[in-house]
Amino acid sequence: MKSVNEQDSEDEVYHTCALTPDADDTQLVTIKLESGNYLRFQVDTGAQCNVVPVELYKKAANDPELKRVTPSSAKIVAYGGTNITVVGRITLVVHRGKAKYRINCKLVEGGHMRPLLGRKACLRMNIVSYLDNEAMREELECLQSVRIMNLSRRNS
């Protein structure tokens, strides 16, 4: 099982873009929970954590009394500065294709919100990938330098 490591610091303030139900279906990813139920997540590569509204979690995870929830004093600030109330945290075991993952999520108040998958989970679960970034450019430049050095040696 693959783990999406997002450490939960109790003093941490997480930032997310938006927690709205406005995303159209093409922007959503359906993920199967260990309970056999499904949740539709909005992909948010600007989010620093995964977020699930507590009422959706209760139903989807078959945990109406929140027995598997750990308290958390973490804070979430949405784009624009809106504070989101964090109820607790949970590690969800989810299935995507043939792979099984553990993702840490913040449970939040607000039944009108969609669950969000943050950047780390999206990358780890191969929902999104970088086509270009600084680390990739540095690696490419390094490989090109080595190649040039090798060609120089052959021609000497």
What amino acid occupies position 100?
K
Count other C-beta atoms under 10 Å from residue 25's C-beta. Answer: 7
Annotated domain spans of the chain: 2-128
Quick one: pLDDT at residue 11? 56
The Cα 151–Cα 156 span in angstroms is 9
> What is the structure's pLDDT at 105?
96
Res 36: pLDDT: 95
Query: Could you say which architecture CATH assigns to the domain 2-128?
Result: Beta Barrel (2.40)
| pLDDT for 149 | 64
Q: What pLDDT does 132 receive?
A: 74
Per-residue model confidence (pLDDT) at position 27: 82
Q: Answer yes or no: is pLDDT of 8 > 90.
A: no
Q: What pLDDT was estimated at residue 51?
A: 95
The pair of structure tokens assigned to 65 is 């009394």
Closest CA to 74 of 4, 7, 3: 7
The token pair at 19 is: 């927690």
Q: How many residues does the chain have?
A: 156
- What's the pTM value of the predicted model, to 2 decimals? 0.74
